[in-house]
Amino acid sequence: MPSQNSAGAVVNVDLCIVGAGVAGLNALAVATEYLDAGARVALVDRRPDAGGMWNDTYSYVRLHQPYEFFTAGDIAWRLRRPPDYLATKPEVLDHLRYCRDVLAERIALDEYYGWTMDRFDERADGVSVHLSGPDGGELVVDTPILINAYGFNVTPNQPLALSSAQVKSVSPDSFDFSQADFTDTDTPVWIIGSGKTAMDTAYLITTRDPGRELHLVAGVGTYFNNRDATFPAGMRRWWAAKPVSQIFGSVADMYDGTNDEQVTAAYRARYVISPMPESQRFLNGNLSRSECDAISAALRSVVADYLADVVDRDGMPQLVFRSGDEIPVVPGSWVVNCTGYLIREKSADDDPYVSKGGRVLTINTGSAIVQFSTYAAYFLTHLAFLGKLDSVPLYQIDIGAVLRRHPQAAIGISCCLAMYNIGLIADEVPLKVFTNCGVDFDRWARMPLRLASSAQFMLTHRRKRENYRRALDIASQRLGFNCGPLVGAPA
């Protein structure tokens, strides 16, 4: 690796991947199946080591899915826990770094941690990737293919800037709830947000300090997959587990682009759970019945509004909401910022999943072919190395825009998008691409049901494709969001 102070140095590699989280590592795992053993790959990440967001997220975060399917390629975990175990932050980091080490044995891996990509220049014969190092050094990586594996691009949350000094504003990423500043107090806690971070925080507080007064400022509220229904554990796994692709397929089959409420209601009745019964937004997170019940029992109130500020009125702090309503709070109350981790709308800087020149693959939420970054990185990288990335007419959407602006339609749209695109991909890649996919949630179901579901998919996906495409077209035109193949990509 060149010195960080060698301004303008150029290195030549066979592949450059920006992002060493689970998306980037899945891209790397796929790439090692195509590259020669002597190939050189540059792996770049702004963080100090592999692991992506898991490096700097809050300490009590837990994986919300069965841990064995959170991996790179088909690399098995060394951890030996029950299949439904929710892995901790150190365990996830250990596995992702183990994946990196396994993959580094397959190719020559140059790792650039603490480096950021300033820009890339795409040419007909390659890409020049301009990097800045933590000590001010500059580097140009010259590569035939660049993979920007941003995924959800999760960044740590900061405490909210509030006008009142009588409340304690913190965030999970900047504050340790086990320290005496928190445990030695008994003042109320106001959690701002309703997604997975909010649920993790509420569950932590209620289990460690059951008597603590707890409130949730939830906005429109978030609902979750009931983990007991989507990933039934114990003996139920062998008779009640249904392949996730079959669940998505049944929703996609029902959706016609107009029946948002009907499809959402049907899905909610069977698979959804939330401590907020009137919640409207779905992020595809998972929550168990026991977790939900514990949080529900602990919540003193749920406010369906958005916090604008905390101000002092007549010497007392007041929560001020976007609606104009105000709620007085006890001085010394805790305000915990759990907002905005995953739902981010596309910005002008977001790139399409494939560049016009066809040499840059980007995994992000602004140009998404499926809702899961692991799936996107895995399948799109296969298409890239098969030379089909810019020829398969995959539909892509801005997931953040759909989730924020059209939450009632999100389930139908995301299921249709996944089934449509996976069907297209299935016709373009070898069968082993699916059988070797370690991030496939279908593996939770028993083998006979998985085989039956796969056979049904292969028999029907071409026939259903037009229905899925039509539903997506109708929904995008009716609701006013972009959905379809990339315009201007090379054929």
Give the pLDDT score at 66: 94
- In this predicted model, which residue has the larger pLDDT, 445 or 4? 445
| CATH code, domain with 206 | 3.50.50.60
Give the pLDDT score at 5: 42
Query: What is the domain count for the chain?
Result: 1
In the chain, the N- to C-terminal Cα span, in Å, equals: 37
251 in a domain, yes or no?
A: no
Instruction: Read off the pTM.
Output: 0.94
Domain region containing 328:
155-221+274-342
Q: Which residues pair with 143 in a beta bridge?
A: 127
Average pLDDT of the chain is: 93
pLDDT digits (tens, 9 = 90+) for 43-85: 999 999 999 999 999 999 999 999 999 999 999 999 999 999 9
Give the pLDDT score at 487: 64
Asked if residue 1 has pLDDT above 50, the reply is no
Give the pLDDT score at 340: 73
Percent of the chain with pLDDT strictly greater than 90: 89
Mean pLDDT on 454-464? 94
Least confident of 118-122, 176-180, 300-304, 341-345: 341-345
Alpha helices in 8-146 (DSSP H): 22-31, 89-104
Strand runs labelled E in 329-456: 334-337, 360-364, 396-397
Mean pLDDT on 347-357? 81
208 in a domain, yes or no?
A: yes
Give the pLDDT score at 346: 53
Q: In what order do the strands lie in the sheet with 15-18?
A: 108-113, 40-45, 15-18, 146-151, 360-364
87 in a domain, yes or no?
A: no
Place 342 in a pLDDT band, splitting at 50, 70 and 90.
low
146 in a domain, yes or no?
A: no
pLDDT digits (tens, 9 = 90+) for 230-279: 999 999 998 899 999 999 999 999 999 999 999 999 999 999 999 998 89
